[in-house]
């Protein structure tokens, strides 16, 4: 099909007709000049640029180089792209020429009519290698790493970390399953923190203390017995976390569990005061000794390599 006057400039710069109605797929060597031209002249019907997405692509390129991942720069018949703008920005920014898949002849209405691809998650990455991994287990892994103070879960380390921790996570979650069977519900919002605590108890060789601790706590919540430790623990938690939310409250749950564990190990009957000094209910205060310190990846506070 002959090019129109409107198409001539674009064809001269890009080497193909972005207004084409022909459904084609091909590869071009995308130069920074071509990428900038597309952004300036063929990006008039797209979403807003999201700086965080541009930064994420930049970080990926810095760590892994430019990956030919099958993603395509898609042009509709109106001559506008509907995918690839953030990667084009990175091509311009880095001044690199890379191979890019081009798709032309796409109906502009697909942007609103077609279901989008599912976002990739670390669970997806793990499931590619181990389809038995569940969302709850991956959530526990993420929480466990946070409480240990180690590197956070990411796309690149997810499989290795899952393989390293899955035995502890599954054993820990098995140990908490009876506690979260529906009889006691007040701790349900914090199940992931309890699961991470239990997994770390297994990891540090204290797995035989998990169920006795939880059984005593369950009996206390069901009013089967009075337990000084948990009376004071609940009172502390209600007062200390009253104005906390999100991660701050989750961290407080972990501190509570670690401190209560230390007390329980001293007196398994629970006939002992909780007695947590609020000034020490933080990472600095808790990392000096006890279960909290035992859980840490780097208790000496040495910088990661």
Q: What is the pLDDT of residues 124-177, one digit of tens each?
A: 999 999 999 999 999 999 999 999 999 999 998 999 999 999 999 999 999 999
DSSP string, 215-261: HHHHHHHTTSS--HHHHHHHHHHHHHTTT--HHHHHHHHHHHHHHHH
pLDDT band at 91 (very low <50, low <70, confident <90, very high): very high
Other residues' Cβ atoms within 10 Å of the Cβ of residue 266 = 9
pLDDT of residue 47: 87
Q: Rounded mean pLDDT of 188-217?
A: 97
pLDDT of residue 6: 55
Other residues' Cβ atoms within 10 Å of the Cβ of residue 106 = 22
Q: Which domain holds residue 255?
A: 122-295
In this structure, what token pair is assigned to residue 175?
């140990």
Q: Rounded mean pLDDT of 187-209?
A: 97
Stronger pLDDT, 271 or 9, i.e. the higher one: 271
Is residue 301 a part of any domain in this protein? no
* Whether 95 and 216 share a structural domain: no
Q: Quote the mean pLDDT of the chain.
A: 92
* Whether 227 and 252 share a structural domain: yes
User: The whole model's pTM is what?
Assistant: 0.73
Domain boundary among 51, 79, 113: 113
pLDDT band at 63 (very low <50, low <70, confident <90, very high): confident
* Whether 162 and 138 share a structural domain: yes
Residue 114, pLDDT > 80, answer no
Percent of the chain with pLDDT over 90: 83
pLDDT of residue 12: 92
Domain boundary among 113, 138, 169: 113
Is residue 300 a part of any domain in this protein? no
Residue 37, pLDDT > 90, answer yes
Q: Rounded mean pLDDT of 195-224?
A: 97
Is residue 302 a part of any domain in this protein? no
Q: CA 177 to CA 94: how far, in whole Å?
A: 51
Is residue 37 a part of any domain in this protein? yes
pLDDT of residue 298: 86
* Whether 73 and 151 share a structural domain: no
Domain count, the chain: 2
Q: CA 131 to CA 165: how far, in whole Å?
A: 16
pLDDT of residue 118: 67
Residue 117, pLDDT > 80, answer no
* Whether 193 and 251 share a structural domain: yes
* Whether 152 and 260 share a structural domain: yes
Q: Rounded mean pLDDT of 259-268?
A: 98
Domain boundary among 68, 90, 113: 113
Q: Rounded mean pLDDT of 50-58?
A: 91
pLDDT of residue 112: 75
Q: Rounded mean pLDDT of 51-67?
A: 90
* Whether 97 and 144 share a structural domain: no
């Amino acid at each position: 099909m002959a090019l129109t006057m409107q198409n001539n400039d674009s064809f001269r710069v890009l080497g193909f007709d972005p207004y084409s109605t022909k459904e084609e797929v091909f590869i071009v060597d995308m130069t920074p000049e071509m990428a900038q031209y597309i952004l300036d002249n063929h990006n008039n019907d797209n979403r807003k640029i999201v700086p965080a997405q541009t930064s994420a692509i930049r970080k990926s390129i810095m760590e892994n180089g430019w990956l030919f991942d099958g993603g395509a720069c898609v042009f509709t018949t109106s001559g506008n792209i509907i995918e690839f703008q953030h990667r084009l920005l990175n091509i311009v920014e880095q001044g690199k020429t890379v191979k890019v898949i081009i798709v032309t002849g796409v109906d502009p209405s697909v942007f609103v009519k077609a279901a989008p691809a599912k976002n990739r998650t670390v669970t997806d990455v793990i499931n590619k290698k181990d389809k038995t991994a569940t969302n709850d287990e991956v959530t526990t892994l993420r929480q466990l790493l946070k409480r240990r103070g180690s590197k956070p879960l990411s796309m690149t380390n997810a499989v290795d970390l899952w393989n390293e921790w899955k035995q502890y996570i599954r054993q820990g979650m098995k140990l908490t399953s009876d506690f979260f069977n529906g009889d006691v519900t007040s701790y349900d919002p914090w199940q992931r923190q309890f699961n991470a605590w239990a997994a770390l108890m297994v990891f540090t060789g204290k797995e035989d203390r998990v169920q006795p601790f939880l059984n005593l706590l369950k009996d206390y919540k069901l009013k089967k017995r009075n337990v000084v430790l948990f009376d004071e623990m609940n009172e502390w938690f209600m007062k200390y976390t009253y104005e906390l939310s999100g991660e701050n409250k989750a961290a407080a749950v972990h501190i509570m569990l670690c401190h209560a564990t230390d007390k329980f190990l001293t007196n398994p009957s629970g006939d002992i005061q909780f007695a947590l000094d609020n000034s020490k209910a933080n990472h600095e205060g808790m990392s000096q000794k006890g279960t909290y310190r035992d859980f840490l990846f780097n208790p000496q506070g040495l910088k990661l390599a």
